[in-house]
Amino acid sequence: MISNNVFDFDASKLNPCKCGSNLVAQYFCIRDTYCNNSPYYCVECSENGVHDHRLQQVHKICIQLANQAQQIYDQIEKFGENIRDQYIPVQEIMEFCQTVVEENDLRKKNGTEFTNYKTNFQLVDQILERALYLKRLIEECAGEYQVLEIKQHSRELNDLQIKIRDTKIGKDIDIDFIYKEYKCVFSGNVDNIDRYLENPDIVVFYQKMRVRALEDHKIKSKEKIKKLQQKVDEHELRLIKLEQLIGQRDQDAQQYIQQKVQNSEYYGIANKNAQKDNLDEHYTRGKPGYNQPEENYDQ
């Protein structure tokens, strides 16, 4: 932090006020729009009502802004160092994976967007370098009481803080992360993978990840087989129920037909008996001695 004693007040560094009073502009306007379009002003301007607000001395606001800039820079530096600590130990492995992805067009084949961590890490370095430059520049401007310049550089410093937080490296980069991010590299579907395996450390790492990929594939295959077996069992159960239903319907149909046949036989026998009775009556009438019923005619 910059203390008030770091920059001993030096009135000779202050510019004359633009109001024409020949007094130094030792105050800075606290309003964003700046009263009378005058960010810097003198005692006379403060007394005649042009700047009707509390006084803010230029050298003090410079120290305050410089301290704020230092805090922002510290956060940027800390964030960047955390990224470096995570990325540098696995940098060769990450670049190996990205090279395989790029040269074999695995983005298109797998329908997956891969983050270019190499480019992002280079961006982090650029942000840290620029942030350090701005911090030093702000300190120089503070020593010259250049408030407007400090504000301008501080805005850029704030933007850098947002930018470094938005980089996709801001996460835990470990073996599990690399395996999940670049699983397609270790799947065994890359032609001539040996041409990328020149570094012994990369060879060992690749072999470990390849074994892991095979084990995962085995587990997933078992899961798929289990799901397929469940579907087969479900279909078999449906077939059994369907066969039972068809069997029941066949049985019902046979019973229905048998009943129909029985009914037909019953009515057939009854019909034959009726016909036989009619014939018997016919023959009986024709026999001698058969007395016709007397006809009664009304006179």
Contact between 117 and 202 (Cβ < 8 Å):
no
- Token digits of residue 141: 């401007």
- List the domain boundaries for the chain: 6-56, 59-196
pLDDT tens-digit map of 77-100: 999 998 888 888 888 999 999 899
Dig out the tokens for 267 from the structure: 């009515």
Which two three-digit tokens encode residue 20? 């024409």
Specify the pLDDT at position 137. Answer: 97
Separation between Cα atoms, residue 116 and residue 139, nearest integer Å = 35
Q: What phi-psi label fits residue 292: left (phi over 0), alpha (psi between -120 and 50 degrees) or beta? A: beta
3-class SS of residue 163: helix
What is the model's pLDDT at position 53? Answer: 80
Query: Rg for the chain (alpha carbons), in Å?
Result: 50
What confidence score (pLDDT) does residue 224 get? Answer: 80
Residue 193 burial (CB < 10 Å; 0-12/13-18/19+)? Answer: middle
> What is the pLDDT, as a whole number, of residue 210?
92
Torsion sign over Cα 90, 92, 95, 99: negative
Alpha helices per DSSP H over the chain? 43-47, 58-87, 91-103, 106-110, 117-143, 147-166, 175-181, 200-286
Look at residue 299 in the predicted model and tell me its pLDDT.
Answer: 42
Tens of pLDDT along the chain (299 residues)? 555 544 577 888 899 998 888 899 999 988 888 887 889 999 998 888 777 788 889 999 999 999 999 999 999 999 999 888 888 888 899 999 989 988 888 776 565 667 788 888 899 999 999 999 999 999 999 999 999 999 999 999 999 999 998 887 756 788 898 998 888 889 888 888 888 888 899 999 999 999 999 998 888 888 888 888 888 888 888 888 888 888 888 787 788 788 877 777 666 665 666 665 665 555 555 555 545 555 554 54
Q: Kindly state the helix (H) or strand (E) to which residue 171 belongs, with its residue range.
A: none
Nearest-CA neighbor of 105 among 190, 179, 187? 190
